[in-house]
Chain A
């Protein structure tokens, strides 16, 4: 299995203008990526012409245009090109506290009057401005889990949709959407009160743990849970992201030579779906795997002969297909290189161009 992320380990700490340049580039890439609900986008701004999601909201809150220099630096994971877990948590904590902090602050006119004379008031004024804007953004937690009843199927069985948003260990935001049915059971993993579904912590724990692997393994792991029948598992991953403002050297170890300048920006977004074939009459083409990801291969190709036999048994038993896809967003200078990468891999991938 090839890896999309690569050799550069560690983090980079950005300061001053570089933070804002990075935030601006990252937000522009995300906005151009046209992310669907299969990605961890959170809620979407309906009134802004450009859209704007929870992801972009968090990134904006990390820039000094929003926090007014209250935070001197930004820690970015080089493997993903996204800010570290610590930074996301920082914004989340600020969101949680902003209502209370604003209520405790002196009146804004007092702060404005005294800010020029006293640094303590100056800092409070900046906080007032930052927290006020943050409150308006209304950002939900960046990690979260939700379960919804899709339909009751009679005899106590029901079909559910589980959605888990998570920040990967290296900072890649991802969303796992699993559709599962549960048969009536004495000790069910999912309980229903009215139409409100609730999943046991064990189920969420399992999903949280396996989602960092890949959709197929997640599918198999979930299928191993008693009383569950997995219909599909989709994992949408945003990133890796790399942009000129992040560092001088090209950060990704992709089999392509990117044109690296300060304004260069590339974002890759992948979707993997494992879907059980519910219609036995479909012909072979309809159930065969499809990999349209130039940066990743199916891991069955790397299995030993022994493991492959077991694997084939599992495939026969569960009749599922794997679909992998990836799209890119890049500055104009890097489009050709990315297209060449796709041609070389024999895939057809979208490459959106980020506006200069």
Chain B
């Protein structure tokens, strides 16, 4: 008997725990307003009035009440007793014409620990008051006056400052959860609802099918884009958008909350809806985006206006979206010389490794353009970087190439172009020639791989090796080449900056001691890559050459 008693008590405790969990099912206790609005919509009310009031009682404490009034079907005694006051008794589950599902929404009003909840409701000429107490027990009272719909008051004792803090929370919760509902929802008489739209979007596309309604658009840079999921206008989830600058709202009666209300059920319908979104993104949206971009670039719009569109295009490119056939010739970028460039041209240049961005038009830029490269202004770096990652999606925050990734495709990170050095100073010319010859001789003697040595300009404005004393060119001294990453191997032409300040003391030295000058120069050039063996070989070769010169 005692064991049976214990079992009963344990079961009661478990029930109580489950109820507590349902009461506090939402992270934000104020989310109960969404549940009440949802119930009102399901009851056929097309107007819902939410308001708050506070009445002083004794001392600082007063009575605050949150009112949610609808004009829907209301409830009769049977419904009150079989549905409202019983958990999981909803007949809405599986009903595609209703939003509510489980019959656990109403209980969330207790999340704010109210002192009482008063439900006045009427249907077919009977009117009832259901008065819930703090412990969630209730009394059913027949009302003499007729009631239309359902009027709920959530009553709680609080001070006036607490009440003042409550107001924006109620309003905020309504606005977040119910902004797109298809009824007239008011808070203190002011409309809360707004059209299912992206009003601030610079461009937008819509798609409506039996499955869902989708609106997506490019938002101005100051607006944080979101990816929102809604069911009959009620917010299910809003999360940061996975496409930079592109906001997207998806509404469908097939979208459902998980029981914990913090996510959307990712079932077959969800997958179909996401496919619909993908088709909109890759088709009409991409077309509109490219058309807009083309128009902006052709009218010479400033970078700030173009940037959001290009950044979005960059993300779509990474995702593997290809230009629709009728958009292939539209301009999506400009070259640094101001020419319009279309997506296939960018793609081809990237495939050849000749798509870069640059801050200014420099001899290096001119060199790459001559070599059939494509150079975009630096502000178009995201698109340039994206072209190298085309099709490498998946979606995610990483779809935006970060600053490092963007910098990697700056022209000075990719190419080098030594310019021929000219001087009218005969002595200088003679010294340079002599130093080149001596250095070349030394390299040959020390069995380094270098083919030749040349003097050039490396320190011009925009040079990728500005400040460097030398660079090893794989082919030819004055042609454009991919930027070498060090002097590990001198396999090619060693090109020395004729105007470099470290070179200047070596030039007069070359008159008297060309081998020493050449050795010093190579030591400076190979700084960092100089090993004891390499140094010893060079020094030995220099000394031998000097001795031969002196003795011959």
Contact = CB atoms under 8 A, between A and B. Distances in A.
A and B touch in the complex (CB under 8 A): yes
Interface of A: 34-38, 41, 43-49, 51-53, 148-151, 161, 194-196, 273, 282, 286, 290-292, 323-325, 327, 347-350
B146 A195 contact: no
Contacts of B47: 34, 44, 51
Q: Which of B97, B126, B183 has the most CB of A within 10 A?
A: B97
Interface string B8-35: 0000000000000000000000000000
Given A51-B184, A347-B125, A348-B127, A38 B73 contact: yes
Nearest to A352: B148
27 contacts: A34-B71, A34-B149, A35-B46, A36-B72, A36-B73, A37-B45, A37-B46, A38-B73, A43-B182, A44-B47, A44-B183, A44-B184, A46-B181, A46-B194, A46-B195, A47-B193, A47-B195, A51-B46, A51-B47, A52-B184, A148-B97, A149-B96, A286-B78, A323-B125, A324-B124, A349-B125, A350-B147
B210 interface: yes
A48 B192 CA distance: 10
A194 B210 contact: yes
Chief secondary structure at chain B's binding surface = loop
A49 B186 contact: yes
Interface string B33-47: 000000000011111
A36 B149 contact: yes
A48 B191 CA distance: 7
B174 to A, nearest CB: 13
Contact of B71 (A36, A273, A347): A36
B22 to A, nearest CB: 24
Contacts of B191: 46-49
Given A36-B72, A149-B96, A194-B210, A349 B146 contact: yes
Interface in B68-99: 71-73, 77-78, 94-97
B185 A150 contact: no
A43 B182 CA distance: 8
Contacts of A43: 182
B544 interface: no
B145 interface: yes
A311 B22 CA distance: 47
A324 B125 CA distance: 8
Contacts of A327: 148
**What interface size band does chain B fall in?**
35 or more
Contact of A151 (B44, B96, B144, B181): B96
A224 to B, nearest CB: 25
Contacts of A148: 96-97
Interface of B: 43-47, 71-73, 77-78, 94-97, 123-127, 144-149, 181-186, 189-191, 193-195, 210
Contacts of B189: 49
A150 B253 CA distance: 11
B148 A350 contact: yes
A273 B74 CA distance: 13
Given A290-B126, A348-B127, A34 B148 contact: yes
B149 A292 contact: no
Contacts of A37: 44-46, 72
A12 B146 CA distance: 35
Nearest to B233: A46
A38 B183 CA distance: 14
A347 B144 CA distance: 11
B148 A348 contact: no
A323 B76 CA distance: 11
A36 B78 CA distance: 21
Contacts of B43: 36
A93 to B, nearest CB: 25
Nearest to A282: B78
B210 A151 contact: no
Given A44-B182, A348-B146, A36 B46 contact: yes
Contact of A44 (B46, B97, B125, B194): B46
Nearest to A161: B97
Contacts of A149: 96
Contacts of B97: 148, 150, 161
Top 6 A-B pairs ranked by shortest CB distance?
A292-B125, A37-B44, A323-B124, A46-B193, A34-B71, A51-B184
Contacts of B184: 44-46, 48, 51-52
A37 B191 CA distance: 19
A286 B126 CA distance: 12
Contacts of A273: 124
A286 B147 CA distance: 19
B529 to A, nearest CB: 69
A194 B186 CA distance: 36
A327 B71 CA distance: 12
Given A149-B96, A194-B210, A290-B125, 9 more contacts: A36-B73, A46-B183, A46-B184, A48-B184, A51-B184, A148-B96, A291-B125, A323-B125, A349-B146
B193 A49 contact: no
Contact of B95 (A151, A290, A291): A151
Contacts of A349: 125, 146
Contacts of B185: 46
Contacts of B148: 34, 327, 350
B271 to A, nearest CB: 15
B296 to A, nearest CB: 27
A47 B72 CA distance: 19
Contact of B182 (A38, A46, A324): A46
Contacts of A48: 184, 191
Q: Which of B147, B148, B185, B194 has the most CB of A within 10 A?
A: B148
Nearest to B144: A348
B194 A41 contact: no
Contacts of A282: 78
A37 B181 CA distance: 14
Nearest to B124: A323
Contacts of B182: 43-44, 46
A273 B183 CA distance: 23
Contacts of B45: 36-37
A37 B96 CA distance: 16
Contacts of B183: 44, 46
Nearest to A271: B124
A260 to B, nearest CB: 25
Q: Which of B124, B127, B184, B191 has the most CB of A within 10 A?
A: B124
Nearest to B40: A36
A59 to B, nearest CB: 17
A149 B194 CA distance: 27
Nearest to A35: B46
Given A46-B195, A350-B148, A150 B96 contact: yes
A195 B96 contact: yes
A147 to B, nearest CB: 11
Q: Which of A35, A349, A350 has the most CB of B within 10 A?
A: A350
A325 B125 contact: yes
A26 B423 CA distance: 96
Contacts of A348: 125, 127, 144-146
A194 B43 CA distance: 26
A38 B126 contact: no
